[in-house]
A and B are shown apart, each in its own frame.
Chain A
Amino acid sequence: WYTRLLHKQRTQEENLMSGTLESLSGLGEDGSSVGSDSEVNGMSVRRIDKYGFLGGNQYSETGEKEVRVEVARQREVKWLDMFCNWDKWIKHRFQKVKLRCRKGIPSSLRAKAWQLLSNSQELLDANPGKFEELEREPGEAKWLDIIEKDLHRQFPFHEMFAARGGHGQQDLFRILKAYTIYRPDEGYCQAQAPVAAVLLMHMPAEQAFWCLVQICEKYLPGYYSAGLEAIQLDGEIFFSLLRRTCPMAYRHLKKFKIDPILYMTEWFMCIFSRTLPWASVLRVWDMFFCEGVKIVFRVGLVLLKQILGSVDKLRELQGMYETMERLRNISPDAIREEILVQEIIILPVTESLIERECNVQVRKWRESRGELTHQPARRLHGTRAIFDYKRRAASISSGGSFSFLGSSIPAPGPLRASSKTLTQKIELKVCRNSSGAIEYVNMKSNYST
């Protein structure tokens, strides 16, 4: 089974490759993009790097430290073993899964792992044919126009997206359009496109679509909704976490009135996919799928610490302008894979700290700006939270009562769980969403002190 899986993976990669190379020759129908065979999108083409980049900022030079073959093989076997008993691993040995994600998921199994970690695999299985159904819908012109304009502006130096109208851009269109129909209330936000593109680099369109759904709804709810309220709130949370983790960077940013929204929008909304070298992007995403938004906060904090964390570094950044320039052009030394990952792992920023800070910031927001339109407490912190949530919801839908933090909750839903010992009051409801897909919706969730 193992060999078959790897073989399948390889065949997929080969198909992908040939499709790309063929379509590359069709580049530049307006005559503007390609000067000669050795030029793509205005860049001279080097050897394609191992991630599929032809050039650009995220091109990886060779000479990176590679994991030894035996180690790589061993990791693959361990992951395949986990795949076979996935739910058990999450339920009983989640710490081990987390550790393995932190070590990096083997690239041959990354797609499958991301789908299991995000539970998008199950969503896909529970909604057969749904994606095709969404594809058949015409979609709203106002979204389609913007999506079409954005297709050639996502990782233009990646072999999959370099060709105008190539298969990468076509798939990108399919899933972004499908999402606007799946969630007409949300539509399309431009920051979704790079996220979708990263997914497409690893898996077919239908799988990427459900994975995107999980990111937008479970991991980062509200990030891509009109008004961008969630990202602004996270900016405030981020800034106060910075105060704890790196007071020097905090004071510097405060002194020059550099609001978090100025530098963290792209970092957070694109999950660092356009900021870090590719090897680091993948490691961050491996951890993000497992541990959730905490990782995003940590990466941002580590970056600020590296860029603004010493007197020496601040000496030449005497002003908003200089600081912003530095934050937009992070030196590669600060973001080398191994160092970065190590720093992320040791940073003491936990889920509960984030939640606590979230409550504080929500209160401030309400005082200064009024009610929030999104529900910050809907966010689930990674695989384990999604898994627990799923079990609670399944228990309600099956009509039985279930135990949550030691207190029995009556069924059926929608219902309210409440107890003196609970720190969280949750209303759960199992329902089909507007587009008819089975969805478990956390109706309301408030934190009490």
Chain B
Amino acid sequence: MAYAYLFKYIIIGDTGVGKSCLLLQFTDKRFQPVHDLTIGVEFGARMITIDGKQIKLQIWDTAGQESFRSITRSYYRGAAGALLVYDITRRDTFNHLTTWLEDARQHSNSNMVIMLIGNKSDLESRREVKKEEGEAFAREHGLIFMETSAKTASNVEEAFINTAKEIYEKIQEGVFDINNEANGIKIGPQHPTTNSTLSGSQGGQHAGGGCC
């Protein structure tokens, strides 16, 4: 399907916080507690609409283990948005946020929009990190914040879409240079171009990448 813009996202955070489940809930609208562990990077994509425009989100889901940190860094390049995820039932995943944030800031472009996510909000009885703590951390570091549940789908749509809205606003304000793919934004193929070397003028669906 043709899109007006493509945004690249990256999902980061400790192992087992629910990064892959968030991605699957967003792209496939289902919760699958049992899935293969992410090694290296996984991909997902979905089309959303903002301001009447079709936007394709391409989402890179990364491995969380510490030892993969050195290669996760190479995934940051060219990301327009990042979801930094912790698990509200595990304090240590919250404590590691600073390191993650340092990494993200250091290896990405400075305009990257970062959304902080406290996941597993359905497990209220096992909560170890108060919502206020998440909010405070986000305020302190200039992030957007939400608590989500990949299991019940609560706030999952919002988390991905609000991040996109923020990126979209930045584009409108001229903060992002959309002609530089290194910013994680790509203009869709249906924009009029003079490129006639690509065949199939009817529809021109080349770069849509399928039915995502």
A interface, CB within 8 angstroms of B: 30, 32-33, 41-42, 146, 149-150, 152-156, 189-191, 193-194, 224-229, 231-232, 259, 261-263, 265-266, 269-270, 274, 315-316, 318-322, 324-325, 328
Contact = CB atoms under 8 A, between A and B. Distances in A.
B95 interface: no
B34 A226 contact: no
B41 A265 contact: yes
Given A33-B33, A154-B37, A228-B70, A316 B206 contact: yes
A265 B68 CA distance: 10
Contact of A265 (B16, B31, B34, B40): B40
Given A262-B75, A318-B207, A226 B67 contact: yes
Given A231-B71, A320-B181, A321-B186, 4 more contacts: A149-B15, A190-B68, A262-B41, A321-B6
B74 interface: yes
15 contacts: A32-B33, A33-B34, A146-B16, A149-B15, A190-B68, A224-B67, A226-B67, A228-B68, A228-B71, A269-B39, A318-B207, A319-B186, A321-B186, A322-B207, A325-B43
B209 interface: yes
B12 to A, nearest CB: 15
A41 B37 contact: no
B207 A190 contact: no
A146 B67 CA distance: 12
Contact of B71 (A150, A153, A261, A328): A261
Contacts of A149: 15-16
B32 interface: yes
Contacts of A270: 39
Contact of B209 (A153, A191, A322): A322
A265 B39 contact: yes
A262 B39 contact: no
Contacts of A156: 34-36
Nearest to B205: A316
B37 A190 contact: yes
Contact of B37 (A30, A153, A321): A153
Contacts of A227: 67, 70
Contacts of A320: 78, 181
Nearest to A164: B34
B135 interface: no
B15 A190 contact: yes
A194 B38 CA distance: 11
A193 B37 contact: yes
A190 B36 contact: no
Contact of B67 (A30, A189, A263): A189
Leading 10 A-B pairs by shortest Cβ distance: A265-B40, A153-B37, A41-B34, A156-B34, A266-B40, A149-B16, A266-B39, A190-B65, A226-B67, A191-B39
B207 A153 contact: no
A320 B71 CA distance: 18
Contacts of B25: none
Interface string B43-69: 101000000000000100001011110
B36 A274 contact: yes
Interface of B: 6, 8, 15-16, 30-37, 39-43, 45, 58, 63, 65-68, 70-71, 74-75, 78, 151, 181, 186, 198, 206-207, 209-210
Contact of B151 (A32, A224, A259): A32
A42 B31 CA distance: 9
Contacts of B37: 150, 153-154, 190, 193-194
A328 B43 contact: yes
Contact of B36 (A32, A153, A228): A153
A153 B40 contact: no
A32 B30 CA distance: 12
A154 B34 CA distance: 9
Contacts of B74: 259, 261-262
B67 A321 contact: no
Contacts of A33: 33-34
A325 B45 contact: yes
B68 A152 contact: no
Nearest to A153: B37
Given A146-B15, A320-B181, A321-B186, A190 B71 contact: no
Nearest to A161: B34
Nearest to A235: B71
Contacts of B65: 146, 189-190
Contacts of B181: 319-320
A32 B65 CA distance: 25
A156 B35 CA distance: 6
Nearest to A27: B34
A70 B206 CA distance: 50
A321 B70 CA distance: 22
A232 B71 contact: yes
Contacts of A226: 66-67
Given A42-B32, A189-B67, A228-B71, A321 B209 contact: yes
Contacts of B16: 146, 149
A191 to B, nearest CB: 5
Nearest to A155: B36
B164 to A, nearest CB: 16
Contact of A325 (B34, B36, B39, B209): B209
Nearest to B42: A328
Contacts of A224: 67
A425 B95 CA distance: 47
A259 B32 CA distance: 30
A252 to B, nearest CB: 15
